[in-house]
Structure 1
Amino acid sequence: MTGQTQCFHCGEPNPKNSHYSVTINGHAQAMCCPGCEAVAQTIVDSGLTSYYTHRSEHADKMVALVPEQLRQLDHYDVQQIQEDFVKKNQSGSEITLMIEGINCAACAWLIEKQLRFMPGLLFINVNTTLHRAVIRWDNRQLKLSVILKEIQKVGYKAYPFQVNKQEAFYTQQAKSYLRRLGLAGLATMQVMMFAIALYADFFSGMEAEFIHYFRWVSFILATPVLLYSAQPFYINAWRNLRNKTLGMDIPISIALLGAYSASAYATISGHGEVYFESVSMFTFLLLLGRLLELRARRKASESSSNLLRLLPSMATLIKETDKVQEHCLIPAKTVQVGQLILVKAGETVPVDGTIISGRSNIEESMLTGEHLPVKKERNDLVFAGTVNISSPLTIRVDKISANSLIADIIHLQDTAQLNKPHIEIIADSVSRYFVGALLIIASLTYISWHFIAPEQAFWITLSVLVATCPCALSLATPTALTCATAKLNKQGILIKQHYVLETLNKINHMVFDKTGTLTKGDFSLLTSTVYGGYSIQQCLDLAAQLEKVSEHPIALAFQKKQKHSPLLDNIVNIAGQGLQADYEQKKLKLGHAQFCAIDNPIESKEVVVYLTLDKQLLAIFEVGDALRDSAAAIIDYCHDLKMKTTLLTGDLSLKSEEIAHLLNIDNLIKGVTPEGKLRYLQQQQKQHDRLLMVGDGINDAPVLAGADISVTLASGSDIAKNSADVILLGDDLNKLISLKQIAQRTTTIIKQNLGWAIAYNLIIVPLAIMGYVPPYIAAIGMSFSSLIVVSNSLRLLK
């Protein structure tokens, strides 16, 4: 800090003998006033020091502010700070928040209820398994800081989700539980020693005052357990009561406070029974269950964190000064689009980009789930998080870290949890009413036993309150879905909606596009026949120039042959038909026979493309495309499951019949427009078919949007990927088999979880009411009931 004459935050001159400073990235930085010091400290405390790394100019001077007036959350509204964690699009801004204090479905429901009617809030979903909330809002009507403050009003702390923050949050929670658990464990051992001796009448020969003395010792030992170890239960219960909702910690808190109060009264007055060992043991067992559940939830949610850890923190930037290349290490986050970076053999690619020079093998298993290296050379794309195996590469940066494919995968993973399946909504609703019903049952139990056996009424009521477990019911579905999503991501299958896993089991009809789906989409020009006064090269140049606006795989076959770029005007791409443009004041068309008005189309098993100029035939091209290696296997799988199969394509060539016959596809619908494809799907749906559509092109977008479930490949067009529910990374259609199998396993495990949760409560509640469940058994059952549900869901990760 010595020698700094400018404020690190605002850039204004520092007064003489100024003592204001903030430690940023390990270095003390001088500040000019308490306002700047407080703002900078807030940014550091919020884990947002990257703001100072990325800022292009100093912040406004904070001289008008004093620390007491600063509101920490206001700084999340600063645009430079939001760049790291807020995604902005046409529909508004979106953020994933980490929320501390969530324990059950009631917590999630409470937060959603509190925020849902805020003006400008477009969407909110809270995930109880991940402890995260996805929120979308309109910046013109609502600020992020206002959303965060509203969450704090309900009693929860929220901040932008970042991997290092998540790890710190988990570590902090685990340490807190361990401290509370340790105290409860030690106290339980001591109190139980006295309790067992008293119950076993070991002190029968001892005077009453000594027995009373041991009760006082138990009272003293149990007090810190109640006040400190059991504190999380009270905080959650008070939060629920304050917001007029019911959560699972309310009956737990009533049981603990009731047992302690009754025991304290008995100890002070010298009359009645004491339950200090129950208070200590309940707390210990419940905390143990929460700690184990926390670890299990972390296991279920660590998939996205692991993906982010794959990204290197540094990148080697290539600079050219005086025609001399210099290499310098810089933070990967600061790399800009268009810059050149060097990736050496064995290093991880830090950004998405295009290879400018070099040739190597790239290991992309973290994206596609396929472990065989992929050969990459000049002009090929590489992705952040993949590993360069054999040779150095010079890469041009196409996307910054926040927009990389791996960031999109993580975003899709979070988005997949936005829409709750119907079964989860029902379970959440039931679990909230369950707590209310439990309190009523406990009250009736106490009243009934007060007349039957007054000395057992309190004890039995205690067991009823502790034994039941609504949490297991609310965790049954989200934990299974979270684990299934993580498993699918590891295999290169990205689901954008959770209803996919629920709906897949009802699918009875699989519909496939041909080009780029069942075939590789890697077209090659087989034959070229010209008519009229144009040469083959001129026709190829015209065709390639037209195809420049197309995303269809056929375009590459022509572009490889192009040598010149003729001037074309008003190029139009007509999906499913072809392309047209103005050339030398005439209408140039490239497409199939009907589009180009060809009266006598040739017969061919390959795809035939015609080039016409004002209806005069210039050339006929035949292009070939090979079947995918996995096409036969996926069709056979469909037949094994007795599912109908349809090839739905816009191609009119005989190639469609050949593929349908070769793969033994049930139905062939060819030569249809995008609208025709959609009409076909709607007709099948009216006949009660549940359809899964697999496509990859622009012309598939309407039908993908209309199918019950839609799947596209990562090599497909952007519009297809936006319309699809599932994206397959790589080109292996066998991933559809994995998707179907995991969906079936997920449904089975959800049913097992719900079955266990319902069965456990149906059995334990009557037994507890009848007095057959001791309090310590009730505590064990309640803790491990939810743990069993989470552990069962974790089987999906294997």
Structure 2
Amino acid sequence: MSQISCYHCSEPVLTASQFTTCILNIDQPMCCPGCQAVSQAIIDAGLTNYYKFRTEPGNKQTALVPEELNSVSAYDIPEVQQDFIHQRDDLNEVSLTIDGITCAACAWLIEHQVKKLSGIASIQVNSTTQRALISWHAELVKLSDILNTISAIGYQAAPFQIDEQETKSKKDSRKFLLRLGLAGFATMQVMMFALALYSGYFTDLDTEFRDYFRWVSMLFAAPVVFYSAQPFYFSAIRSILMGRLNMDVSVSIAICGAYIASCIETVNGTGEVYFESVSMFTFFLLLGRYFEQNARQKASVSSSNLHKLVPLTAFLKNDNSIEEVPAKRLVIGNIILIKPGDVVAADGVIIEGGSSVNEAMLTGEQMPVEKSVDSQVFAGTINIEQPITVRVTALGQDQLVAEIIRLQEIASNSKPKIALYADRFSNYFTAAILLIATMTYIFWSFYSPEDAFWVTLSVLVATCPCALALATPTAVTCGTAILTKLGIITRRSGVFEKLPKLNHIVFDKTGTLTLGSLSITNVELVAGTTESVTEKRALEYAAALESSSLHPIAHAFEAYLTPAITVSNKQSFVGNGLQGEIDGKLLKIGSQSFVNGTDFYESDVIIWLSIEGKVLAKFTLADAIRPNTAAAVQSLKRLGCNISIASGDNSGEVENLAKRLGIDDYHKGLSPEDKLTLVSRLQKNVHVAMFGDGINDAPVLAGANLSVAMGSGAAISKNSADIILLGDDLARFADAVTVAKSTARIIKQNLFWALGYNLFIIPLAVSGHVAPYIAAIGMSASSLIVVSNSLRLLKVRV
């Protein structure tokens, strides 16, 4: 009889079937109550995929007892956390999906509460995507503590996981549709009686029949008030408990006040009832929220889709065999085979083969990129032509696709100043509306008591600041989605404010305007030496001398290195060149003055080779201009930007490059401090963006109004940048400026409409010219107009 192993920790099960957990519809054996409790907590937390794709068994949990575990404790288990927690420096970082967020005030409430926990480094809540990005010190606070804190104020949070999130969204949508459908059905029933009463069809009936229809209307309106409108009540209560006022406060007062007053009039058999207005208001409000919800999902769908591009399986190479395995089983250092047409399963470096790879999912550029040995490939990209063998260098949350999603979420969560002003204004606006409604009721109580209640109700309904709260976040989310499709990642807040203001762009040269890698464009053998060598032999001599150098020039000769030629007594002369002996003869490579003692001005990168003091060959090297650079410069000029080059290169190549690109202002031989001084001087009169890719560009990137780093650049420069160009296509930056200007224009339009609508409707509502049901339609239409206007950004062609 074979021994049974614990499904969680793989230890032997000595307790027969005493402890089991239902996993994937199968009762799995557990060795102890601790493993049973942990596995059940994992299942209860919706993390069944942990058992589908884990590569190692869990830790034995004999020290734990079931009573000590709750529904979120599973998120503290290291094996579970590896799927959704990213470590950056000494901080843990997680993206949470949060239920119950309806407006910007909800986001503020969650941020305010979580920040009270010790160990929280930062939290950003996006009310549009209903997600939060949190960084914390793991030694000071647990993830379960954060989740419990959010739960304590009425919201349910869990780590953002794509499949589970989509399933949950569908479930929430069905529940929302049930509330909406119930409100719609009840509204139709109540309106039948209300229209008949208003039309006078029952005026000849006795009072008892009139009251009967009122009682029936009250019963039909009850589920609308007590079930369909629940989300508004919970949001309002949370806000009030935290000492704040949000838009749902006035909505809740309107619904509850109208229903209670109508019930009192029904019991007393006197006065007017507003059951039809309550039902219709709730229905239209829910209908508006439903369309808003769909619009939000459409605006933020791109960030979710990136994860889906990463395949679930990979071809793992073990010695002489190839095995198809779940991608979740890969570990760093594994060797995987990527066949033509296959999607790369993990970030890695090519160790064998060469091909072209479509990186459109990262950069937005459909043209394949040539890859060879030592080139990096990224999860989610597509191999086009030849099979390649890749060594895995990053997995899970450390892959580039995960980093892009995190950066996109940071950008979506970032609030421009105008959004912060709008959030603050909406809170004051709600308080002002409650005050206006109170004064309206007092006035109409003296002027026309029978109309006081419905006029006040119209004021509360018509002036809800939903559109004002949605004006900015929906536009920013849409703008960020477009930039991500273009391969442009925004890392810091304020990008959408800074881009439209730019009027001066400063470019570094090497690695930014140019590719940053020198190549040999011409080889010229010099006559007059006693040596008879071919061009190939001259290149081999040069490669042998340069083989120990890390200078960029040395890389240009790497392809010509051969083991047949060895160099002895090699010496390096900084800023001049190298020398060594080959077959007993002294060879030098470097500048002309170093090689034979003469010198003159060169506009290109020229390297000389001599043997025994006699010049043997002359090599011309060039750093190619990036594709589309000239077009990008012209596009930026058309947008009203002045262009400058600030380069550390002191050669004539800087001037040549400036002339070829049509740039009049160029500076060469600049140190990092000089570049920073140049940008600081320009900033006195204009808004400056700085492009760079190297470590030496980090200071000036940090000092510019807006900084842009190339995706292929040094990590430190990307950490200092506001924007990263993943595809290294400078033309995309001009597109980013266009998108930012469109986003800024949409935000202003949204705010103008939201404020204009409220300023227009308030006098009409206060003066009694807006019926409650008309107020409900107007308020919902206002919000939908704002969201629809923001979605126009997704159609911007760049």
TM-score of the two chains, using structure 1 as the length reference: 0.90
**Pairing partner for 2:412 from 370, 392, 417:** 417
| 1:131-163 residue CA offsets vs partner (Å, 9 max, x unmatched) | 111111112222222111111122111111111
Report what 2:722 is aligned to: 725
Report what 1:98 is aligned to: 97
- 2: distance between equivalents of 1:316 and 1:669? 51
- 2: distance between equivalents of 1:207 and 1:677? 90
Q: Return closer, same or farther for 1:432/1:611 CA change in 2, 3 Å cut-off.
A: farther
Residue pair 1:55, 1:80 contacting (<8 A) in 2 also: no
Letter in 1 for 2:402: A
* Alpha-carbon RMSD: 3.3
Q: Return closer, same or farther for 1:410/1:580 CA change in 2, 3 Å cut-off.
A: farther
Correspondences of 1:130-529 after superposition (within 5 Å): 130-320=129-319, 325-525=320-520, 526=522
Residue pair 2:45, 2:74 contacting (<8 A) in 1 also: no
1:716 aligns with 2:719: no
Pick which of 19-28 and 478-487 moved more: 19-28
Q: CA deviation at 1:780?
A: 1.4
Correspondences of 1:615-634 after superposition (within 5 Å): 622-634=620-632
Q: CA deviation at 1:248?
A: 1.2
Report what 2:758 is aligned to: 761
| 1:718-750 residue CA offsets vs partner (Å, 9 max, x unmatched) | 222222221222243211211111011011001
Q: CA deviation at 1:502?
A: 0.9
1:71 aligns with 2:77: no
Q: CA deviation at 1:357?
A: 3.9
Pick which of 562-571 and 419-428 moved more: 562-571
Residue pair 1:95, 1:134 contacting (<8 A) in 2 also: yes
Letter in 2 for 1:708: N
Q: CA deviation at 1:681?
A: 1.0
Q: CA deviation at 1:328?
A: 2.3
| 1:443-497 residue CA offsets vs partner (Å, 9 max, x unmatched) | 1111111111111111011111111132221221111111111111111122212
Q: CA deviation at 1:336?
A: 1.5
Letter in 1 for 2:59: A
- 1: distance between equivalents of 2:478 and 2:38? 40
Q: CA deviation at 1:600?
A: 6.7
Report what 1:586 is aligned to: none
Q: Return closer, same or farther for 1:367/1:567 CA change in 2, 3 Å cut-off.
A: farther
Letter in 2 for 1:704: L
Residue pair 1:592, 1:652 contacting (<8 A) in 2 also: no
| 1:424-456 residue CA offsets vs partner (Å, 9 max, x unmatched) | 111111112221122111111111111111111
- 2: distance between equivalents of 1:418 and 1:602? 56
Q: Give SS of 1:139's match.
A: coil
**Count of aligned pairs between the two proteins:** 776
Q: Return closer, same or farther for 1:195/1:600 CA change in 2, 3 Å cut-off.
A: farther
Q: CA deviation at 1:393?
A: 3.3
Report what 1:89 is aligned to: 88
Letter in 2 for 1:351: A
Letter in 1 for 2:460: L
Identical-residue share of aligned pairs (%) = 48
Q: CA deviation at 1:19?
A: 4.4
Residue pair 2:505, 2:689 contacting (<8 A) in 1 also: yes
Letter in 2 for 1:545: S
Q: Give SS of 2:317's match.
A: strand
Correspondences of 1:16-35 after superposition (within 5 Å): 16=15, 18-35=17-34
- 1: distance between equivalents of 2:595 and 2:216? 99
Q: CA deviation at 1:271?
A: 1.4
Letter in 2 for 1:641: L
Q: Return closer, same or farther for 1:190/1:631 CA change in 2, 3 Å cut-off.
A: same
| 1:570-603 residue CA offsets vs partner (Å, 9 max, x unmatched) | 999x9xx8999999xxxxx999999x99997532
Residue pair 2:579, 2:589 contacting (<8 A) in 1 also: no
Pick which of 712-721 and 55-64 moved more: 55-64
Q: CA deviation at 1:58?
A: 3.5
Q: CA deviation at 1:759?
A: 0.7
- 1: distance between equivalents of 2:462 and 2:567? 80
- 2: distance between equivalents of 1:81 and 1:791? 39
- 2: distance between equivalents of 1:383 and 1:578? 39
Letter in 1 for 2:19: Y
- 1: distance between equivalents of 2:346 and 2:136? 29
Letter in 2 for 1:54: R
Letter in 1 for 2:441: Y
Residue pair 1:460, 1:771 contacting (<8 A) in 2 also: yes
Q: Give SS of 2:548's match.
A: helix
Q: Return closer, same or farther for 1:112/1:604 CA change in 2, 3 Å cut-off.
A: same
Q: CA deviation at 1:767?
A: 1.3
Report what 1:794 is aligned to: 791
Q: CA deviation at 1:381?
A: 2.9
Gaps of 5+ in 1: 584-588
Letter in 1 for 2:179: R
- 2: distance between equivalents of 1:123 and 1:591? 52
- 2: distance between equivalents of 1:4 and 1:795? 63
Residue pair 1:517, 1:696 contacting (<8 A) in 2 also: yes
- 1: distance between equivalents of 2:726 and 2:590? 30
Residue pair 2:430, 2:465 contacting (<8 A) in 1 also: yes
Report what 2:703 is aligned to: 706
- 2: distance between equivalents of 1:758 and 1:291? 23
- 2: distance between equivalents of 1:592 and 1:422? 54
Pick which of 274-283 and 465-474 moved more: 465-474
Pick which of 536-545 and 444-453 moved more: 536-545
Q: CA deviation at 1:55?
A: 5.6
Q: Give SS of 2:515's match.
A: coil
Q: CA deviation at 1:121?
A: 1.1
Q: Give SS of 1:394's match.
A: strand
Letter in 2 for 1:524: S
Q: Return closer, same or farther for 1:15/1:521 CA change in 2, 3 Å cut-off.
A: closer
Q: Give SS of 2:94's match.
A: strand
1:779 aligns with 2:776: yes
Letter in 1 for 2:729: D
Q: CA deviation at 1:189?
A: 0.6
- 2: distance between equivalents of 1:413 and 1:290? 25
Residue pair 1:528, 1:536 contacting (<8 A) in 2 also: no
Q: CA deviation at 1:563?
A: 4.1
TM-score of the two chains, using structure 2 as the length reference: 0.90
1:664 aligns with 2:675: no
Residue pair 2:643, 2:663 contacting (<8 A) in 1 also: yes
Residue pair 2:692, 2:708 contacting (<8 A) in 1 also: yes
**Pairing partner for 1:678 from 676, 679, 685:** 676
Q: Return closer, same or farther for 1:418/1:185 CA change in 2, 3 Å cut-off.
A: closer
- 1: distance between equivalents of 2:10 and 2:754? 60
Q: Return closer, same or farther for 1:497/1:618 CA change in 2, 3 Å cut-off.
A: farther
Residue pair 1:12, 1:61 contacting (<8 A) in 2 also: no
- 1: distance between equivalents of 2:336 and 2:415? 42
Report what 2:585 is aligned to: none
Q: Give SS of 1:520's match.
A: strand
Q: Return closer, same or farther for 1:712/1:432 CA change in 2, 3 Å cut-off.
A: same
Residue pair 1:266, 1:272 contacting (<8 A) in 2 also: yes
Letter in 2 for 1:774: A
- 2: distance between equivalents of 1:335 and 1:681? 46
Gaps of 5+ in 2: 532-536, 582-587
Letter in 1 for 2:555: L
Q: Return closer, same or farther for 1:280/1:418 CA change in 2, 3 Å cut-off.
A: closer
